[in-house]
Structure 1
């Protein structure tokens, strides 16, 4: 075997990844797969009937299952693969159907292009064979570089189209369909625009981490991705297994959490516009997502758990109401009465009213948030009715007061 390593059976040009993987399997005598950096399956060898479910799932879906990726991150396997050029032995993890493996990263200098995985459950690979696996990774590098370049060119071709969609450049859906056809991109049946705002400018390295997380999450189907300074913009569809639009809310929370957990990037804010079935509404969905982010900055406490445009509720209309108030100034008189009373008597009736109305007139919840007993709150509400001449059983009047209080913050 040592003599075999010295001659390096992989020190020759390979026409394809399939040709390379056949050679690796012949030399090592075990099933092998090659993935790209985002764990999409590129090539695989045959295996016996008794192979593990992780390998079967990867071949069927043409990508490593999300639960496998998440567990490998949790076990620090993927971070170690990213940081070393040598092969790693991964012991069995029964919960995700993963039996004994050996893996190595395929890299160009410090950039990880992909991975080679070898199942050595039946017969453990020797130290010499592990060295051969490193030689095989070297042989895979030019093939993955070529694939990487092809994908980069394709991305450059569709980015102009992406921006034109977001800016409302196209006059009809037929014109948009023609562009999809010319770029050889499948037109999804439905989509929404998602926007993520980072605290710092997104570097090339961070963009790679973003692409990795989106590709491996398998929660949404991403069609377009673009980075502009500190903003990440996606056009995406719900994953076929989760067709409901609530998946976007879940994905935004997941993305923000995992960018912190895996890459220590914090302070990200995310939003989603409405799902549409016609791409001539892409600009609308984009503007909705931007509006959510803008309002989250203006009302961070009120909208802390809001990610989707339809979750904004009355906040959707604050700009229009503010515009109307500039031409016809008016504010519910109860606000001024309570404000003056609070100033003269050192009370906080106006705050109490806002918290009470904002939480669906739930006295127990409002009392908890104000750190007072519910009896104290009921006394305050009685005085608010008297001072402000306010009908707290009138939902429309209460909503008008709440809107006026929110408008104050915009002013």
Structure 2
């Protein structure tokens, strides 16, 4: 096609598939082309010569854009620009990730991004006329992607029904659950865990799209199902390799919280993972464990702020059980009663000092910094605590019992109906 010749619209016709459309775009623009969905999964690609770059080859082989490429394009503000505009965007070569010169454009339905077209600029840059043709190609691709999205929505709705049945313990037979996976043509995850994220506000469709984008493009864990409910987002996932421990899930939770803030300015997210299991009837157990971690993190913001898994909870796992027993058999630790009485009468804070001291593993320096007092002041308070409460702060059993009593007391105040 001549450099300055502009056809009316070479894409204004029916295409039998995205493959036909991508070949037409390749013929019109005279360069290799790919079409991706909004989460950077490869939908169709054209032919290319032997000199094409490694990023394109890796995308075609794995059927999705490599995570390192996506992360770099975010860092270079490429993807945010594509999300905000429907105009073609020229991307210079990024040698470190194997990306050659590109021109990209978002495929849009009004303000919603459905996907992207990427054109590789090989020997020469696309002319202004070809950039206009690329815009026409994006309009044509819109129709095809809307069809695909409608089909995908039906599948996802069917998957989510099954996911909620697993989360609520509807199935209790491992074999039957496995058969259901096979009926839906889904590879059963093994081992697996349920991850739960709690947002400050209700998850809107717009926020859900951003969440799905992030979990789909991260490629750190294998996600089988996901679902949103009010301010909660739940994932059923498997590690990339069966031998990997829960560490991979914890790293994903930290990554998710950080990137939701960095990329989308969505803050105040709490995340947790339940235990890893290989029996599918344990999905509900893993889910409830993740919820318990979130619930306790909300109650004990300082003590377990860096806890992300049920296993990491340690003794906090048993606080609810101990609290329930205490309600049936009321008991108050004598030392705590004495300190409460003394604090009330003398307007002191010896009980808070005791809790901080035990929280910091009896480290005087760390406790003093936490309380913003001089170490001499702290030592004086500790002597008063010992004298008034009649406790031995060098005795491990004594400190452990006080620690549990103090945490249960705080839990009872925050959850009076637990």
TM-score, normalising length: structure 2:
0.92
- In 1, Cα distance between the equivalents of 2:368 and 2:61? 54
- In 1, Cα distance between the equivalents of 2:283 and 2:295? 19
The residue aligned with 2:17 is: 16
Query: Would the alpha carbon gap of residues 29 and 243 (structure 1) be closer, same or farther in structure 2, given more than 3 Å must change?
Result: farther
Single out whichever of 172-181 and 24-33 deviates more from structure 2. Answer: 24-33
1:252 shift after superposition: 1.9
- In 2, Cα distance between the equivalents of 1:208 and 1:239? 24
- In 2, Cα distance between the equivalents of 1:204 and 1:366? 45
- In 2, Cα distance between the equivalents of 1:348 and 1:38? 54
Q: CA RMSD in A?
A: 2.0
- Equivalent residue runs for 1:2-401 within 5 Å: 5-240=6-241, 243-401=244-402
- In 1, Cα distance between the equivalents of 2:385 and 2:325? 27
Contact 2:40–2:64 at 8 Å: present in 1 too?
yes
- In 1, Cα distance between the equivalents of 2:95 and 2:366? 45
Contact 2:191–2:242 at 8 Å: present in 1 too?
no
Contact 2:190–2:242 at 8 Å: present in 1 too?
no
Q: What's the secondary structure of 1:202's corresponding residue?
A: coil
- In 2, Cα distance between the equivalents of 1:5 and 1:218? 41
Query: Would the alpha carbon gap of residues 204 and 242 (structure 1) be closer, same or farther in structure 2, given more than 3 Å must change?
Result: farther
- In 2, Cα distance between the equivalents of 1:48 and 1:374? 72
Structure 1 runs (4+) deviating above 6 angstroms are: none
- In 2, Cα distance between the equivalents of 1:171 and 1:240? 26
Query: Would the alpha carbon gap of residues 89 and 280 (structure 1) be closer, same or farther in structure 2, given more than 3 Å must change?
Result: same
TM-score, normalising length: structure 1:
0.94
Single out whichever of 381-390 and 79-88 deviates more from structure 2. Answer: 381-390
- In 2, Cα distance between the equivalents of 1:229 and 1:101? 40
Single out whichever of 9-18 and 239-248 deviates more from structure 2. Answer: 239-248
1:154 shift after superposition: 0.7
1:241 shift after superposition: 10
Structure 1, unmatched stretches of 5+, are none
Q: What's the secondary structure of 2:115's corresponding residue?
A: strand
Query: What is the number of equivalent residue pairs in this alignment?
Result: 411
The CA deviation string for residues 147-178 of structure 1, in whole angstroms up to 9 with x for no partner, is: 21221111111111111101111121011011
Query: Would the alpha carbon gap of residues 376 and 53 (structure 1) be closer, same or farther in structure 2, given more than 3 Å must change?
Result: farther
